Structure 1
Amino acid sequence: MDIARRVADTVLYEGYLLYPYRASAAKNRVRWQFGVLVPPAFTATAEHPASLTECLLEGAAGAEARLLLRFLHVRTRVVERAEDDGYWPVRELRTAGRTYLTFDEATEREVEAVIPIAELLGGAERVVEVLIPGDHAIEPIPGPSGEARGRVVTRHLPLEAAVRVSAERVPGPYDLVKLRARVENTDTWEPRGAPREEALRRSLIAAHLLVSVNAGAFVSLLDPPEWARPAVETCRNEHTWPVLVGEPGHRDVMLSSPIILYDHPDIAPESPGALFDATEIDEMLHLRTLTLTEEETREARATDSRAAEIVDMVGGLPPEMVERLHGVIRYLNGPDRVRPTTPPDPPSGEPQRTPSSGDPEQVPATPWWDPGADPTVSPETDGVTIRGVTVSRGSRVRLAPGRRRADAHDMFLAGRTARVEAVLLDLDGVRHLAVTLDEDPGADLYRAHGRFLYFAPDEVEPLDTGWADDEEVGA
């Protein structure tokens, strides 16, 4: 569940606040893009009032299901300046070395229910009411001498929602149960032309479900066993995407997410903290945040307390953690991914030895995408037969890009001559030619760095003689 919560937190705050983390940035003026469940009467956008999750459980008829609904609840934050006749809303107020901005925030909400599966199989639908009361708070803004310069007014509007949970047995010999959970906004608010911002304050933001069972197991909806595939195809999931979460191989927790994920997602261990741009690169966001000017940093800090935490985190990262952000290689050839760096203990009586850099145990296994993983493939010596002529490294060809090409730059390459640098074989068994242009003054530089143009065999013409125009192209 710890892994599941880490992933769920990423879903919860995906897009919460985008770099450069300032209220004035255009990308932060239209917020809350994922998992938004609006009041039913609000139809000004394509957002929906409900989501539906259907998933399969194996051998869980006697289990208890724990459902955890999680979402963000928008909190308005309005800065008001003190004047003789009262307080007046302003976008920004600076005083005593601090900046206060008008900007909406959000509060995490969780609603939990534990329901026996047997109770649901008896035909009963369990309805979990979600009633979040509104609240209102005022924080004074003091001036340099302690006088009132203004105030910050925050407010949550009440939320009304429901989770409707039911279950049914799946016909067949496999002891499957289909669990169904519908999350719906039940607010009776009438928008009467109100903008989206008003609807968001009565909406569930980034709404998702974590569902766990204390017996039995979930069936993967992305990669089900063949015997379960017909039952999986009957599951309806609307505006949500259920995946297995937790330790790989475990099937007792499922996350129904508004963002498409794969089974058993996890957070990269190199990530230093939440940056809210989960689909971006931590290193890039770290470096860009460091380039913010003092004025931009001041605004980011005033925009949101979580933005201030990002600025502090980025500025305080030690060099070794920054270096880790630059990249890591994870091999895809087994659950351990990287071969152990320490050899097993020797049998009793044999001398101990210290591994050296030349020990085979310290050399990572060759990844599948490395040509060295397949001794039958040699890009530098392999050849391909084109119209009766063997083309390999060093061969000269004329480029004739085919009709399937979509790159407009190909029109500038048609008819040019080139040198073949390698003959490559992809995972589908299709050959490609890596070439450099004869007339390109930077060809030697591209060759040294492995930067080539790529063409299919039927997109080049060998410059050697001995072939007829009407012969077929073959590999």
Structure 2
Amino acid sequence: MSALTAGTASEDEVERLARAVLYEGYLLYPYHRDALKNRSRFTFGDLEPGALWQAECLVVGARARVDVSVRFLEDTAERRVEVERAAVAELTAGETAGETVLVSALGLGAGVTRLTVRMTNTTGARILATQALLRITDGEFVSLTDPPQAFREQAAGCRNIGTWPVLVGAEGARDRIFAAPIILPDYPRVAPESPGDLFDGTETDELLTLSILALPDAERHAITDPRARELLERTTALGQDELLALHGRLERPIQVGDRVRLRPNRRADIMDSLLAGKAATVVAVEEDLEGVLHIGVTVDDDPGADLGEFGHRFFFRIDEVERR
């Protein structure tokens, strides 16, 4: 798996993200069973027998319905426990069981519900990479990473055990939550340069690819795991352009005069909501005493923009603007 970054993700990309996290650490370089570090799997989200896993998040909408898919590895086999679509309002009266998975809800008032997905490992063996995908209809989830001011108290009351729920899908969407076994930002995605799963503890694709290409024949023949064989064949088939792309995308720092789109994400005040998505021009790049960069912009459709330096100027952190 390559670096995980924030960004827009389609349905297929969400599944790719879930798969990448599920199999991360499944097998480590040099990918054969005789290697010392492959005698004990290194995965995120391990659950010992009898241990509890729990994801909690906030739902807004009195008519909301939710689907839940809990996923994990049992030895090397992928398993899923699906909880069929259920009305959140009905879950406040009890629990819906899907094998060892229980889904319940608690009304918090004003149309806000705390949704709980809980699983106990009853397999008698350690399970790996436990995660869940939640989808909602006729309602929306609330970001726990950066909850709106009105929901911060309720968000602080969510208790997550062995997981970190984040919003996924198209940026700004509120219909899906990925309860990941690692800390991720809202709207994460697998870096587009990554040609496929590498399993190896989120190490850099470029370094791992070069290492795989340098494997001696004896070690290549020792790779018998089906997923590892697929990885080997995919890597050795990479063309020159694909190899060069593994260096990643080097982007010029934002400079005065750049055209940007505003994506405020800290919800400091009502002005942030009004400016979200607006086109703007960078007029200043300043660094505060803590080394944080702030981007000063003028908004294109601001009636006072023609006043130049005397017009309205707004400041955002660098992660709140994107180059157009």
TM bin (shorter chain):
0.7 to 0.9
Whole-angstrom CA distance in 2 between matches of 1:258 and 1:325: 26
Contiguous gaps of at least 5 residues in structure 1:
41-48, 75-105, 130-161, 190-201, 341-364, 378-423, 430-475
* Matches for 1:21-420 after TM superposition, within 5 Å: 21-40=31-50, 49-59=51-61, 61-74=62-75, 106-113=76-83, 114-121=85-92, 123-129=93-99, 162-171=100-109, 173=110, 175-187=111-123, 189=124, 202-277=125-200, 279-300=202-223, 302=224, 304-330=225-251, 374=285
3-state SS of paired residue (2:146):
coil
Mapped partners of 2:31, 2:205: distance in 1: 14
Contact 1:3–1:245 (CA under 8 A) maintained in structure 2: no
Residue aligning to 2:26? 16
Helix, strand or coil at the partner of 2:152: helix
Fraction of identical pairs, as percent:
42
Compared CA separation, residues 29 and 278, structure 1 to 2 (3 A): closer
Following TM superposition, by how much is the alpha carbon of 1:252 offset from its aligned partner in structure 2, in angstroms?
A: 0.4
| Alpha-carbon distance between aligned partners in 1 of 2:188 and 2:162, rounded to the nearest angstrom | 19
Shift of 1:427: 2.6
Deviation at 1:204? 2.6
2:188 is paired with a residue whose SS is coil
Aligned residue pairs, count: 261
Aligned to 1:3: 13
Distance in 1 between residues matched to 2:145 and 2:81, nearest whole Å: 27
Which residue of the partner structure matches residue 315 of structure 2?
none
The letter of the residue matching 2:69 is L
Deviation at 1:111, TM superposition (A): 2.0
**Which SS does the other structure have where 2:89 is aligned?**
helix
Is 1:54–1:235's contact at 8 Å kept on the other side of the alignment?
yes
**Is the Cα contact below 8 Å between 2:32 and 2:219 reproduced in 1?**
yes
Amino acid at match of 1:12: L
SS in 2 for 1:208: strand
| Equivalent AA in structure 1 for residue 115 of structure 2 | L
Cα displacement string for residues 322-342 of structure 1 (whole angstroms, at most 9, x for unaligned residues): 111112125786xxx9979xx
* 3-state SS, counterpart of residue 321 of structure 1: helix
Query: Which amino acid letter does the alignment assign opposite residue 91 of structure 2?
Result: L
Aligned pair in 2 of structure 1 residues 263, 425: CA closer, same or farther (>3 Å)?
Answer: same
Query: Hey, what's the Cα distance between the residues in 2 that align with 1:176 and 1:26?
Result: 50
Going from structure 1 to structure 2, the CA distance change for 1:30 and 1:215 (only over 3 Å counts) comes to same
Contact 1:54/1:180, CA 8 A, preserved across alignment:
yes
Q: More deviation in 250-259 or 19-28? A: 19-28
Q: CA RMSD in A?
A: 2.7
Q: Is the 8 A contact 1:58 1:177 kept in 2?
A: yes
Deviations 1:386-423 (CA, angstroms, capped at 9, x unpaired): xxxxxxxxxxxxxxxxxxxxxxxxxxxxxxxxxxxxxx
Q: Secondary structure at the match of 1:33?
A: coil
Runs of 4+ more than 4 Å apart: 330-333, 337-340
C-alpha contact (below 8 Å) 1:330/1:338 kept by paired residues: no
CA distance in 2, matches of 1:219, 1:19: 38
- Give how far 1:109 is off: 1.5
What letter matches 1:178 in structure 2?
R
CA distance in 2, matches of 1:72, 1:107: 5
Given residue 116 of structure 2, which amino acid in structure 1 is its aligned partner?
R
CA distance in 2, matches of 1:4, 1:169: 29
1:32: Cα distance to partner? 4.2
Match of 1:266, SS state, is strand
**Distance (Å, rounded) in 2 between the aligned partners of 1:252 and 1:28:** 38
TM-score normalised per structure 1: 0.51
Partners of 1:259 and 1:54 lie apart in 2 by 15
CA contact (8 A) 1:331 1:338 kept: no
Tell me the residue number matched to 2:291.
Answer: 427
Q: Distance in 1 between matches of 2:253 and 2:58?
A: 29
Name the CA distance, whole Å, in 2 between partners of 1:56 and 1:330. 36
- Give the secondary-structure state (helix, strand or coil) at the position aligned to 1:23: coil
Deviation at 1:34, TM superposition (A): 1.8
> Which one has the bigger helix percentage?
2
Given that residues 2 and 246 in structure 1 are in contact (C-alpha distance below 8 angstroms), is that contact kept between their aligned partners in structure 2?
A: no
> Which residue identity does 2:19 align to in structure 1?
D
CA distance in 1 between counterparts of 2:21 and 2:113 reads: 27
1:120 & 1:332 partners in 2: Cα distance? 49
Q: What is the distance in 1 between the residues matched to 2:253 and 2:159?
A: 32
Per-residue deviation, 1:251 = 1.0
